[in-house]
């Protein structure tokens, strides 16, 4: 008896801690463009735990969309389903549950017995359902995901990645806009009991619209979340949190960082920077026409080369942008606007780190701006001398695109006209 008690206590203690094989991974992307804003081990296979139920719900939504099920269709509960471990809804063998209640139970309670019910009623058995889930995952581009059950209960062969989970979260929103709002459900009442959603960001982090948490001893605390705020949309994934609360706090930090980056990218497209006049004197402000904005200010966030191609596509036969179509003789002004730009990638207390960061920037940007001129400028300030690290001699679109890439790499960058002095943006010794 004493030995059994010791074993039970050890099992309990082990169950309360996150074991070493719960590996951390995370990914945050712009939900509209798919642009990666933060990534750590995003392609490392991990145990999805109850994130699996996002795919189970995908299959249920698909059955509704195809007319195979209706929300009031009643699903039968098998003996196997009734014996699934926690968390559960407590279904009994022979009982039935509507599709609507099954969806809500998966979204809020993350009920394992309900997941098995959905799988068995759709495919005849949970194993066949898991094979269908994996097949659907491949269609969605989830190349590193394999499902072995409908619930996410422990199975060493059931694996996924943060990147695949972003693909799934994106697909379920785009493919089933009618049913996707179920993920916003904060609580669900069933047979006199109220079940609250495990996703604590709902109602606590502004703009959260779902979608799913997950946990097993082997996986740690997982979370996939979708957030819309101020016209921006982020999708975030975290695997391997040590506790639910720490996972949530970490996700919030990643999302805050993501929203901040999107704000900086928006400023890159239309920043309040003065435009140079032909005589080298900067104007306070010039309102650009829509054609000019498209030709010169469009920033290709994913690639410097793409930005250059866009600028070239809008240029005339003499290489000048549309804003000078009516006055091709004024090439001095055109040359100043098109070529007198650059990027500032840091300001330092001595020249060595300034030279080093320019080299780092070139490594990340590649040959697309190899024509840019490296320049370390010694500038005297009231508090001392600083050394500005710049790459000049770029077109405006090249400078903005380059900064977009460097910001993704967590490197400081500001696009600057050649006659504009930028305040210190980094001070390291």
What would you measure as the largest C-alpha separation in the chain, in angstroms? 98
Mean pLDDT across the stretch 368-387? 82
* Residue 50 bears catalytic tag: yes
* Sequence-distant (≥ 6) Cβ neighbours of residue 312 within 8 angstroms: none
Which has more confidence, 310 or 267? 267
Q: Tell me which of 53-67, 177-191, 258-272, 278-292 is least confident.
A: 278-292
Please report which confidence band the pLDDT of residue 140 belongs to, taking 50, 70 and 90 as the band edges.
Answer: very high
| Catalytic one of 26, 53, 219, 426 | 53
List residues bridging with 193 in a β-sheet. 190
pLDDT at 5 exceeding the cut of 50: no
Q: Are the C-beta atoms of residues 104 and 188 closer than 8 Å to each other? A: yes
* Residue 275 CB contacts under 8 Å (≥ 6 apart), including other chains: 282, 283, 286, 337, 417
Residue 367: the pLDDT is 76
Quick one: pLDDT at residue 338? Answer: 54
At 39, list the tokens: 């990534």
317 part of the active site: no
pLDDT of residue 87: 96
In this predicted structure, what is the pLDDT of residue 386? 84
pLDDT of residue 157: 96
pLDDT over 80 (residue 12):
no
Query: Percent of the chain beyond pLDDT 70?
Result: 75
- Annotated catalytic residue, options 26, 50, 151, 160: 50
Helices (H) and strands (E) in the chain, counts: 13, 13
Percentage of the chain beyond pLDDT 90 is: 55
Q: How far is CA 183 from CA 58, 186, 358, 383, in A?
A: 12, 8, 46, 54
Task: Quote the tokens at residue 392.
Answer: 């000049």
**pLDDT level of residue 351 (50, 70, 90 thresholds):** confident
The alpha carbons of the chain give a radius of gyration, in whole angstroms, of: 27
Pairwise pLDDT comparison (366 vs 112), residue with the higher score: 112
Distance between CA atoms of residues 319 and 325, nearest Å: 11
Contact between 343 and 402 under an 8 Å Cβ cutoff? The reply is: yes
- Write down the mean pLDDT value for the chain: 80
Under 8 Å between Cβ of 28 and 258: yes
pLDDT attached to residue 401: 86
Least confident of 78-82, 193-197, 211-215, 258-262: 258-262
In the annotation, is 110 catalytic?
Answer: yes
Indicate if the pLDDT at residue 310 is higher than 90.
no
Whether 352 shows a pLDDT value over 50: the answer reads: yes
Catalytic residue among 17, 68, 92, 110: 110
**Average of per-residue pLDDT across 328-350:** 63
Range scoring the smallest mean pLDDT among 94-98, 208-212, 305-309: 305-309
Mean pLDDT of 366-374: 82
343 pLDDT higher than 80? yes
pLDDT band at 288 (very low <50, low <70, confident <90, very high): very low
Q: Is the whole model's pTM more than 0.85, yes or no?
A: no
pLDDT-based confidence at residue 269 (cuts at 50, 70, 90):
low
Q: What is the pLDDT of residue 265?
A: 77
Which domains are delineated in the chain? Answer: 22-256 (3.40.710.10), 290-417 (3.30.70.1070)
**E strand or H helix at 114, and its extent?**
helix 112-123
């Amino acid at each position: 008896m004493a030995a059994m008690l010791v074993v039970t206590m050890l099992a309990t203690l082990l169950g309360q801690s996150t074991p070493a094989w719960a590996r951390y991974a995370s990914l945050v992307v712009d939900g509209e463009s798919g642009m990666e804003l933060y990534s750590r081990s995003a392609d490392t296979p991990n145990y999805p735990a109850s994130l699996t139920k996002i795919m189970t719900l995908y299959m249920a939504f698909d059955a509704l969309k195809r007319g195979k099920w209706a929300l009031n269709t009643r699903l039968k509960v098998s003996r196997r389903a009734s014996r699934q471990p926690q968390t559960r809804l407590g279904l009994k063998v022979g009982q039935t549950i509507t599709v609507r209640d099954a969806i809500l139970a998966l979204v809020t309670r993350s009920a394992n017995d309900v997941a098995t019910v959905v799988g068995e009623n759709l495919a005849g058995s949970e194993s066949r359902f898991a094979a269908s889930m994996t097949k659907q995952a491949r269609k969605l581009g989830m190349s590193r995901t394999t499902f072995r059950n409908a619930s996410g209960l422990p199975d060493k062969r059931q694996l996924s990645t943060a990147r695949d989970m972003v693909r799934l979260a994106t697909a379920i929103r785009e493919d089933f806009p009618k049913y996707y709002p179920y993920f916003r459900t904060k609580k669900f009442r069933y047979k006199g009991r109220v079940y609250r959603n495990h996703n604590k960001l709902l109602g606590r982090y502004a703009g959260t619209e779902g979608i799913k948490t997950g946990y097993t001893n082997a996986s740690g605390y997982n979370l996939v979340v979708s957030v819309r705020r101020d016209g921006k949309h982020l999708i975030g994934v975290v695997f391997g949190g040590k506790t639910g609360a720490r996972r949530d706090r970490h996700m919030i930090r990643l999302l805050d960082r993501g929203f901040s980056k999107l704000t900086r990218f928006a400023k890159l497209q239309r920043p309040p920077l003065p435009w140079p006049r032909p005589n080298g004197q900067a104007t306070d402000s010039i309102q650009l026409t829509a054609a000019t904005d498209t030709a010169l200010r469009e920033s290709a966030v994913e690639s410097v080369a793409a930005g250059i191609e866009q600028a070239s596509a809008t240029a005339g036969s003499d290489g000048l942008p549309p804003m000078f179509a009516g006055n091709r003789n004024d090439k001095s002004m055109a040359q100043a606007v098109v070529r007198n730009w650059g990027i500032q990638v840091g300001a330092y207390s001595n020249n060595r780190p300034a030279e080093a960061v320019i080299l780092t920037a070139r490594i990340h940007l590649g040959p697309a701006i190899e024509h840019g001129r490296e320049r370390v400028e010694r500038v005297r300030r009231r508090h001392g001398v600083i050394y500005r690290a710049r790459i000049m001699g770029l077109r405006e679109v090249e400078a903005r695109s380059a900064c977009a890439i460097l910001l993704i790499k967590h490197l400081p960058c500001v696009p600057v006209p050649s006659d504009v002095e930028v305040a210190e943006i980094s001070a390291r010794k």
